[in-house]
């Protein structure tokens, strides 16, 4: 065996190890926290606005209802939020799409993408009810965990710190209910 082939094998092993560390193995929580904070700062600097998810979904829903003849754009909620007649021009739309496509790219690079078969009708029901409750809760709380928690705490808002213990309580109780009734 010559030195060149040994060197190329070590180089390939290092590349595989880097790929493995970046895309296959879980990162430490503190790395995720630091990256989340940095991305939040970059988002605020680039857009001049806080990072939010569900407000944009409400804008899309209102736009759809308005196009179906329901005057959703006249609802009182739009005195608090900005209503966009064209939600595809909203920066939050592009942020949401970036999150979805970024997650897709990450899972494809990790070679972990796969379709899973639905186990039973009970699982579908749990997912639909859970999704509805999360969406409803996000609107009642005037923000999801992104806008109501991460963006608020990172901008030193009191509402984020008030949001945190109740989210923790909800996660705890929801987990207990899920484990007791649905396993």
Digit-coded pLDDT (tens) for 9-24: 555 556 668 777 777 7
Confidence of residue 7 (pLDDT cuts 50, 70, 90): very low
The average pLDDT across 55-73 equals 88
> What's the CA gap between 92 and 54, in Å, rounded?
9
Examine the pLDDT at 97 and tell me if it is beyond 90: yes
**Residue 149: partners with Cβ closer than 8 Å, 6 or more residues away:** 143, 160, 163, 164, 167
pLDDT at 1 (0 to 100): 52
143 closest CA partner among 51, 62, 79: 51
């Amino acid at each position: 065996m010559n030195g060149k082939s040994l060197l190329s094998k070590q180089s390939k092993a290092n590349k595989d190890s880097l790929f493995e560390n970046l895309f296959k193995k879980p990162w430490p929580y503190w790395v995720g926290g630091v990256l989340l904070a940095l991305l939040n700062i970059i988002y605020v600097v680039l857009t001049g606005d806080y990072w939010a998810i569900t407000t944009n979904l409400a804008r899309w829903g209102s736009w759809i209802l308005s196009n179906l003849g329901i005057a959703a754009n006249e609802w009182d909620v739009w005195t608090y939020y900005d209503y966009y007649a064209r939600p595809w021009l909203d920066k939050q739309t592009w942020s949401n799409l970036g999150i979805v496509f970024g997650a897709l790219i990450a899972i494809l690079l990790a070679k972990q993408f796969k379709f899973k078969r639905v186990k039973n009708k009970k699982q579908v029901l749990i997912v639909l009810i859970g999704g509805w409750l999360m969406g409803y809760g996000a609107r009642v709380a005037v923000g999801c965990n992104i806008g109501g928690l991460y963006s608020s705490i990172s901008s030193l808002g009191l509402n984020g710190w008030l949001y945190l213990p109740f989210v923790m309580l909800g996660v705890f109780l929801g987990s207990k209910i899920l484990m007791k009734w649905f396993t």
